[in-house]
């Protein structure tokens, strides 16, 4: 469990005109769930494709399981769900899963058994003999998910695994991913949904414009971000809070969601001061809580890509 599942060493990948990944280094330790976060176009998929050996890095290198071999030679130990979902539309679901298993080096009879177990588990076993094209998008995604996990890989790489799923199916997939991590296997998944990453991941890396922004365990990332944070929920008279929330002596940064907000206190300011001021003004509060910064807040502060966030004038100095 000490060996790193994935080690990326100063990797650069350029496409005609722009640099998708720029001297990126990171390490995914064996075991647990690793979240690769970043806004759209940050280079998440490119990074994953580089790990999978679909793309070759222009510079730097990628080492899997501390082995000198590339991902293709190790493909039996790796499961991959690409961002662009694709299956043979005319094939029957069961046949397709068997084929995917075979390409991972599993025998035909074994692949059939495993495919049936997975279809059962994902609740699509009655579709086993239907053609892929007859399935809904969500069901196709489940099939592909099963195809990536069929051979019980010790490293599972999922590119945006929950996009396009309804809440019920997303829950089913989440349980499976968590289950894999519990078995001591490694999951690396990319997402731009921070809440999900926050709840599931042991470790994260936030990348933007192809470069590493933050990297570490979730707790560590939050501690490093520092400051005291307050989550507010308004019940009435929201407008009376405007002047207080705009006061740079109290507040360094605010993510305003309308009925709620997440604040970072200015240096030297006290959450009690803030509460007193809000009560004095007669602002109706539903919630007032001193919290850890959310990944969302950290992400926005670091990447600055979310237009809904309004950095205060003093924010630059504080952050």
Partner 1 sequence: MNKTFAVIRREYVERVRTKAFVISTVLLPVFMVLAVLLPGLMMSGGNRTRHVAVVDASGSGLGQPVSEVLKAATFGDAKNAKPRYQVQVFPADAANLAQVRDGLIAKTGFAKDRQPDGWDGVLVLADSTLASGKLTYYGDNVSSPNSMSQLQRDVSKALAGVRLAKSGVDQALVSKAMASADLDTAKVSDGKLTGQSGEASFMIAYFMGFVLYLATLIYGQQTMTSVIEEKTSRIMEVLTSSLTPFQMLLGKVLGVGSAGLTQMAIWVGSAFVLGSQGARLAGAFGASAEAARSFSIPGIAPSLMVVFLLYFALGFLLYGALYAAIGAMCNTIQETQQYAIFVTMFVLVGFFSVFALIKDPTGSLGVTMSYIPFFSPFTMPVRWSMTSVPLLQLCVSLALMVLALLACVWLAARIYRTGILMYGKKPSWRELWRWVRA
Shortest gap between Cβ of 14 and partner 1 (angstroms)?
A: 14
| Alpha carbon distances (Å) from 73 to 3, 50, 52, 102, 311 | 18, 15, 11, 14, 48
Q: Which is nearer to partner 1, 65 or 299 (CB)?
A: 65
Check residue 29 and give left, alpha or beta (phi > 0: left; psi -120 to 50: alpha). beta
Q: Which is nearer to partner 1, 71 or 190 (CB)?
A: 71
Shortest gap between Cβ of 200 and partner 1 (angstroms)?
A: 23
Q: Which is nearer to partner 1, 112 or 240 (CB)?
A: 112
Which residues of the chain form contacts with partner 1 (CB under 8 A)?
49, 52-55, 71-72, 75, 78, 80, 82, 84-91, 95, 99-100, 102-105, 144, 147-148
Q: Which is nearer to partner 1, 40 or 308 (CB)?
A: 40
Q: Which is nearer to partner 1, 154 or 255 (CB)?
A: 154
From the list 150, 149, 147, 127, the residue with the least C-alpha distance to 139 is 127
Shortest gap between Cβ of 82 and partner 1 (angstroms)?
A: 4
Report the relative pairing of strands 260-265 and 251-256 from DSSP bridges.
antiparallel
Shortest gap between Cβ of 66 and partner 1 (angstroms)?
A: 20
CA dist 241 and 237 (Å) reads: 8
Dihedral Cα 206, 208, 214, 219, nearest 10 deg:
-30
CA dist 126 and 80 (Å) reads: 25
Shortest gap between Cβ of 95 and partner 1 (angstroms)?
A: 8
């Amino acid at each position: 469990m000490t060996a790193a599942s994935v080690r990326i060493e100063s990797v650069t990948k350029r496409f005609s005109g722009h640099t998708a990944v720029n001297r990126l280094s990171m390490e995914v330790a064996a075991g647990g769930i690793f979240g690769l976060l970043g806004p759209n176009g940050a280079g998440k998929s490119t990074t994953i494709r580089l790990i999978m050996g679909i793309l070759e890095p222009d510079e730097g290198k990628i080492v899997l399981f501390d082995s000198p071999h590339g991902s293709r030679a190790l493909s039996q130990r790796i499961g991959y769900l690409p961002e662009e979902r694709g299956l043979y539309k005319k094939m029957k679901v069961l046949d397709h899963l068997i084929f995917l298993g075979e390409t991972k080096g599993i025998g035909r009879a074994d692949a059939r058994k495993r495919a049936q177990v997975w279809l059962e588990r994902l609740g699509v076993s009655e579709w086993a003999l239907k053609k892929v094209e007859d399935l809904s998008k969500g069901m196709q995604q489940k099939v592909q998910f099963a195809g990536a996990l069929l051979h019980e890989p010790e490293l599972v790489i999922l590119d945006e695994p929950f996009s396009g799923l309804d809440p019920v199916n997303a829950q089913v997939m989440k349980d499976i991913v968590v289950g894999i991590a519990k078995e001591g296997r490694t999951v690396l998944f990319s997402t731009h949904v921070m809440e999900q990453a926050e709840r599931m991941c042991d470790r994260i890396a936030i990348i933007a414009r192809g470069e590493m922004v933050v990297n570490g365990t979730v707790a560590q990332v939050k501690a490093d971000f520092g400051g005291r944070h307050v989550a507010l929920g308004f019940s009435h008279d929201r407008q009376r809070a405007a002047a207080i929330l705009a006061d740079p002596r109290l507040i360094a940064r605010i993510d305003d969601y309308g009925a709620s907000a997440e604040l970072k206190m200015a240096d030297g300011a006290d959450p009690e001061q803030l509460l007193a001021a809000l009560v004095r003004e007669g602002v109706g509060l539903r919630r007032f809580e001193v919290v850890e910064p959310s990944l969302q807040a950290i992400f926005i502060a670091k990447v600055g890509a979310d237009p809904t966030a309004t950095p205060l004038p003093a924010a630059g100095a504080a952050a």
